[in-house]
Amino acid sequence: AQSVTQPDARVTVSEGASLQLRCKYSYFGTPYLFWYVQYPRQGLQLLLKYYPGDPVVQGVNGFEAEFSKSNSSFHLRKASVHWSDWAVYFCAVSSQGTGSKLSFGKGAKLTVSP
């Protein structure tokens, strides 16, 4: 069965510092991977997605992620964090076919300190 593990439930980063949020996936075959962001009391917004191809994926607001098949990972990165990045970040893996089932990790709550 497909699954995602986000090992860091809470992350605190100083504004302007770099960020990495880790994601490990379990999937038989070639995975389709996503990062979503959830701002306080809001729905989810897509940051970026990986479909088989270039392992480094660029997303919105300066985010990028790198797929590694050997490490079963899809880590999210940002070079310089802004206070507006304060949110919960979810990694997800999707099955193919009818009614694509998106399986989410438990999320990583990012706090940005001044």
Partner 1 sequence: AQTIHQWPVAEIKAVGSPLSLGCTIKGKSSPNLYWYWQATGGTLQQLFYSITVGQVESVVQLNLSASRPKDDQFILSTEKLLLSHSGFYLCAWSLGLGGGAETLYFGSGTRLTVL
Q: Please report how close the Cβ of residue 18 comes to partner 1 at its closest, in angstroms.
A: 26
Q: Please report how close the Cβ of residue 38 comes to partner 1 at its closest, in angstroms.
A: 9
Does 32 engage in binding with partner 1 (CB under 8 A)? yes
Query: Which of these segments, 17-25, 44-52, 66-74, 77-85, binds partner 1 (CB under 8 A)?
Result: 44-52
Of 87 and 105, the one with the shorter C-beta distance to partner 1 is 105
Distance separating alpha carbons of residues 72 and 104, to the nearest angstrom: 15
Does 1 engage in binding with partner 1 (CB under 8 A)? no
What DSSP state is assigned to residue 84? G
- Residue 95, classed as helix, strand or coil, is coil
Closest-CA residue to 20 (of 66, 61, 56, 59): 66
- How big is the CA angle at 95 (ends 72 and 32), to the nearest 5 degrees? 45
* Interface residue list for partner 1 (CB under 8 A): 32, 34, 36, 41-46, 49, 51, 90, 94-107
